[in-house]
Amino acid sequence: MPEQFHRPVRRPSASFDKLVGASDSAEAQRVAHATASALLTRARDDESGESAKRLIAFTSEHGIDDIAELWATATAVSLPGALWRLYLLQLAIHTDPQTSALLYERGRVELASADAVVAGAPVPASPEELVALIDTILRGVFQGDFAVALERAAAFCRVQVSGATHTADDYEATEPVRATELTARARRLHTYANDLSAAAALWRVGGLT
């Protein structure tokens, strides 16, 4: 991805999980893996932190389309696949922090696990604090322990899954369409959580490429 360029930001008109890449060819897969590895290496080698700062802010400044073209069709449990899912989470929270905060808090209350602690959000978390949380998790990807960052993102997803599921139950009788949307969101986030957890395990043994 270019470090600096200027053009209108292309915000996706569809929901964040429906974005797709251009092709699923072998060449596209090769490019996805090569660019993800090069980007991560460069950011983690930059002791000034400027590369990480630019990468965290990338989607806010340029939109998600350029990243989608590189990584959207990558294998789920791979380096580009993990980065793609992290950027999708960032997009979802930045686009609608109010809903994210609502679902997160509901999930935190309902979920009988340590996932909320692992994710690391304040209690309760405001919309602004969740935006800061996902940016902090991305910062960990580019500067800190990559596996820990993936595990935090997975834990965040599981809290949101719980929140979306319970909120869907609340809406079932009065707003079935909304309930269906929340249930679909929970299923997607459940898949993301599993993918990110698997990627973290592979990273720890040197197998995530």
- The domain segmentation of the chain, as residue ranges, is 24-204
pTM recorded for the entire structure: 0.85
Cα separation of 99 and 34, whole Å?
35
pLDDT in tens, 46-85: 999 999 999 999 888 888 888 888 899 999 999 999 999 9
Cβ-proximal residues to 103 (8 Å cutoff; 6+ apart), any chain: 160, 163, 164, 167, 182
Cα separation of 123 and 71, whole Å?
33
Residue among 124, 131, 125, 62 nearest 96 (CA): 131
Task: Check whether 39 has a pLDDT greater than 50.
Answer: yes
Both tokens of residue 95?
Answer: 């686009």
pLDDT of residue 109: 96
Q: Are 78 and 196 in contact (CB under 8 A)?
A: no
pLDDT of residue 20: 40
**Cα angle, residue 156 at apex, residues 179 and 181 outer, rounded to 5°:** 15
Cα separation of 168 and 185, whole Å?
10
